[in-house]
Structure 1
């Protein structure tokens, strides 16, 4: 096993140097400048998640007062308008102990302010929503009531923030895999045409060749990510005057989330890269590789769609399927790292993905040996 890994690392070092130490690598490094449209689509999707999870204001009222309050709210919303828009307002039946009911509502994620019995309670971040309910109370009663506003502190980073972080993690993995992992589909084309792959296959096991090429491409991907991550972090620091990670609020903690995201990024790249390398190894010409690019892209988008569908509901049927299916598992588990799941699930998921990485590399190498080297008269490894 040690010799196998040493052989794979030799191939990885060779491929890494052959890619990075060329002028064309600079063009590849600047490729995201031409993919801003994809990033814009993803950011709009993340904004949609945040908008869907926007906190609401609640009015506690009895059945006699409800029609008057609804009309007043519709009239006030048309007058206030503006950007940002007024909060979403829902009406709920008032219980006997309305004050306790209001505090219970504010202790939940998604409720920012409550109006009841001429009083307004709001969270520290819901002061604007509390002012809106105060205006609503005045509009409904016809006179300015004695409204007492109380602030209730609540920890940052509720469920909606975690859901947005989960979607962002899934999208970032998709973006990086779309940009980087799909490059593996054409890695063997040149070496297959000039017979270099036959020389490598005669010297080391073909599985080591495939794994080494994947590790070399992973090194390129990590270098690429570090370069653009550093630029993005520096730009954010200069623009914001200091970074604040409170809005990210992953359930596992920021440091643990960063480590888990890095692990899932590497396994996502290796798993998808193994599939693409195996598919591309069957192609004999650049035309065939171009023809395979569409199925590869569809496969990536399908994994992203499956994982993003279960990002905000990891325990749903779709969420469980996305976490179990090996090629969507890194996406889904990166989202689960944000929403919060037991640590043993991450351990099992990483082991499961490593197992499938070995299976995929073995299958890809055997298909290449039997379908290409053997049919082409090359030496069997």
Structure 2
């Protein structure tokens, strides 16, 4: 076992070094940066458009006389500041501050950002923490303008905590986003295992290596070398994307926080990507063992790729069914397990289940590698029980 691991490390270091320091790897890194740049630019334009068309609404629960004064003050300030700089006002009848917990249900077509109650001299702004920080100053300015006095208005605030249902919706978005990132990266990067193996089969290098090193070590080393290459690429792309996002600016607090927290969620994303990559890569190694040309690789890999998409859609559909049999099947089925478990990390805060899932996925990966090695020996090295029977038949018949 130790010798196999040592030989696998030698193969992994050889392949990793050859790939990383090749000219093609530089262009490989550049490829996804263009879509990232387009996404960032499109996101910036989309945010600008959203800011242009978004007109937040503040519900007003004041007396009729003070409501008229506030509406007149808004119209006066809009002439100099612009109507988009101030929130729209909407009169609320029969409203009390105790009803602030149904803020999102007051209007099903256009939600209120906050509610202004009390009096103009002592107003109270009720809403989420982000909306209050955003509109408190401008609402205070409108109140001071309505009163037409130099004395400042002291505004009280009432922050509505995030409800359980909205928290679950946010975590569901994080779960779906994590699944989408995993499948995208896996499908982009796992196919390189095939081309690497077929190239060495064509050049007869694999047969030279097989004469000196166990096939298990060769396959394991190649798999981890390609995984290392994939992680280097992901590091470069994510660092570039985060740097550009920081330069452009954005509301990072608006990102939905997963149940396990962002640091552990990012770590689990890396681990589950690695397992998804190893599972699919080990399957591709088995395909590469049966293929002799690039055309055969493309033909054989297409069903696997389509099957992986079906597995992803299955895990994606089970994300809203935590604890149900269909979701448990997605967790236990090895090829959908990484996607189902990253969704659980976003929605459940218990940690122990991820250790069990990673061990189970690792065991199944080793089983696939063993099966791929068996296919390679029979189809390429012409060894194994089937090859021995064929050789014996040839000696008996003289053919």
The structural deviation recorded for 1:366 is 0.9
Counterpart of 2:227 in structure 1 is: 218
One of 147, 152, 158 as aligned partner of 1:151:
158
Residue 361 (structure 2) pairs with residue 361 (structure 1): no
Question: Relative to 1, partners in 2 of residues 1:273 and 1:179: Cα closer, same or farther, differing over 3 Å?
Answer: same
Q: Any idea what the Cα deviations from partners look like across 1:295-353, whole Å, max 9, x if unmatched?
A: 23212212221221123433233322221110111111112111124212111101111
Counterpart of 2:138 in structure 1 is: none
Residue 193 (structure 2) pairs with residue 184 (structure 1): yes
The structural deviation recorded for 1:155 is 4.5
Higher helix share: 2
- Which structure 2 segments of 5+ residues have no match? 44-56, 58-83, 85-95, 116-123, 133-155, 389-399
8 Å CA contact 2:129–2:159 kept in 1: the answer is yes
Distance 2:22 2:218 in 1: 22
One of 351, 357, 361 as aligned partner of 1:343:
351
8 Å CA contact 1:214–1:270 kept in 2: the answer is yes
Distance 1:171 1:32 in 2: 16
8 Å CA contact 1:177–1:268 kept in 2: the answer is yes
Counterpart of 1:173 in structure 2 is: 182
8 Å CA contact 2:209–2:218 kept in 1: the answer is yes
8 Å CA contact 2:33–2:237 kept in 1: the answer is no
If the length of structure 2 is used for normalisation, what is the TM-score?
0.67
Question: Relative to 1, partners in 2 of residues 1:101 and 1:359: Cα closer, same or farther, differing over 3 Å?
Answer: farther
Counterpart of 2:311 in structure 1 is: 303
Residue 16 (structure 2) pairs with residue 16 (structure 1): yes
8 Å CA contact 2:171–2:259 kept in 1: the answer is yes
Question: Relative to 1, partners in 2 of residues 1:9 and 1:38: Cα closer, same or farther, differing over 3 Å?
Answer: farther
Counterpart of 1:331 in structure 2 is: 339
8 Å CA contact 1:198–1:373 kept in 2: the answer is yes
Counterpart of 2:329 in structure 1 is: 321
Distance 1:32 1:293 in 2: 22
C-alpha RMSD of matched pairs (Å): 4.4
Question: Relative to 1, partners in 2 of residues 1:312 and 1:341: Cα closer, same or farther, differing over 3 Å?
Answer: farther
Distance 2:127 2:245 in 1: 31
Counterpart of 1:268 in structure 2 is: 276
The structural deviation recorded for 1:151 is 3.1
Distance 1:286 1:344 in 2: 43
The structural deviation recorded for 1:354 is 0.8
Question: Relative to 1, partners in 2 of residues 1:321 and 1:190: Cα closer, same or farther, differing over 3 Å?
Answer: same
Distance 1:318 1:249 in 2: 25
Residue 14 (structure 2) pairs with residue 7 (structure 1): no
Question: Relative to 1, partners in 2 of residues 1:234 and 1:169: Cα closer, same or farther, differing over 3 Å?
Answer: same
The structural deviation recorded for 1:272 is 0.9
The structural deviation recorded for 1:163 is 0.9
Distance 1:291 1:283 in 2: 9
Q: Secondary structure at the match of 2:158?
A: strand
The structural deviation recorded for 1:292 is 2.2
Q: Secondary structure at the match of 1:180?
A: helix
8 Å CA contact 1:198–1:378 kept in 2: the answer is no
Distance 1:209 1:332 in 2: 30
1:190-269 equivalences under 5 Å are: 190-240=199-249, 244-269=252-277
Moved more, 28-37 or 4-13: 28-37
1:72-151 equivalences under 5 Å are: 103=101, 122-124=127-129, 151=158
Counterpart of 2:300 in structure 1 is: 292
8 Å CA contact 2:289–2:379 kept in 1: the answer is no
Distance 1:159 1:152 in 2: 19
Q: Any idea what the Cα deviations from partners look like across 1:126-158, whole Å, max 9, x if unmatched?
A: 77xxxxxxxxxxxxxxxxxxxxx9734314981
Distance 1:304 1:271 in 2: 14
Distance 1:303 1:31 in 2: 27
Counterpart of 1:77 in structure 2 is: none
Q: Secondary structure at the match of 1:216?
A: helix
Question: Relative to 1, partners in 2 of residues 1:237 and 1:263: Cα closer, same or farther, differing over 3 Å?
Answer: same
